[in-house]
Amino acid sequence: MLSVAVLPFGFSIKIQIVSLPALFKKPKFGMAMAITRTVIMLPLSLIFIQL
Protein backbone atom coordinates (compact mmCIF):
# COMPACT_ATOMS: atom_id res chain seq x y z
CA MET A 1 0.00 0.00 0.00
CA LEU A 2 2.79 2.42 0.84
CA SER A 3 4.70 1.76 -2.38
CA VAL A 4 1.60 2.72 -4.38
CA ALA A 5 1.51 6.10 -2.62
CA VAL A 6 5.19 6.90 -3.19
CA LEU A 7 4.79 7.81 -6.86
CA PRO A 8 2.00 10.40 -6.38
CA PHE A 9 3.82 11.87 -3.36
CA GLY A 10 7.01 12.26 -5.38
CA PHE A 11 5.09 13.78 -8.26
CA SER A 12 3.28 16.25 -6.05
CA ILE A 13 6.50 17.33 -4.34
CA LYS A 14 8.08 18.00 -7.74
CA ILE A 15 5.01 20.01 -8.75
CA GLN A 16 5.32 22.06 -5.55
CA ILE A 17 8.98 22.81 -6.22
CA VAL A 18 8.09 24.03 -9.73
CA SER A 19 5.03 25.98 -8.63
CA LEU A 20 6.75 28.08 -5.97
CA PRO A 21 9.03 30.03 -8.34
CA ALA A 22 6.26 30.05 -10.95
CA LEU A 23 3.95 31.87 -8.53
CA PHE A 24 6.14 34.95 -8.83
CA LYS A 25 6.85 34.80 -12.58
CA LYS A 26 3.54 33.45 -13.88
CA PRO A 27 0.92 33.63 -11.11
CA LYS A 28 -1.87 31.82 -13.00
CA PHE A 29 0.39 28.90 -13.96
CA GLY A 30 1.83 28.68 -10.45
CA MET A 31 -1.62 28.69 -8.91
CA ALA A 32 -2.77 25.96 -11.29
CA MET A 33 0.24 23.85 -10.30
CA ALA A 34 -0.46 24.40 -6.60
CA ILE A 35 -4.10 23.38 -7.07
CA THR A 36 -2.97 20.26 -8.97
CA ARG A 37 -0.71 19.35 -6.05
CA THR A 38 -3.58 19.82 -3.62
CA VAL A 39 -5.85 17.58 -5.67
CA ILE A 40 -3.19 14.85 -5.59
CA MET A 41 -2.25 15.21 -1.91
CA LEU A 42 -5.73 15.41 -0.39
CA PRO A 43 -6.84 11.86 -1.29
CA LEU A 44 -3.43 10.51 -0.31
CA SER A 45 -3.65 12.12 3.11
CA LEU A 46 -7.03 10.44 3.64
CA ILE A 47 -5.36 7.07 3.03
CA PHE A 48 -2.90 7.70 5.85
CA ILE A 49 -5.62 8.86 8.23
CA GLN A 50 -7.27 5.45 7.88
CA LEU A 51 -4.05 3.45 8.41
One-character DSSP codes across the chain:
-HHHHHHHHHHHHHHHHHHHHHHHH-HHHHHHHHHHHHHHHHHHHHHHHH-
Domain locations in the chain?
2-50
* Per-residue confidence (pLDDT) for residue 8, from 0 to 100: 76
pLDDT under 50: residue ranges of the chain: none
Question: What pTM did the predictor assign?
Answer: 0.57
* Per-residue confidence (pLDDT) for residue 44, from 0 to 100: 75
Cβ burial of 1 (10 Å; 0-12, 13-18, 19+) is exposed
Give the Cα separation of 40 and 4 in Å (integer).
13
Contact 33, 44 (CB under 8 A): no
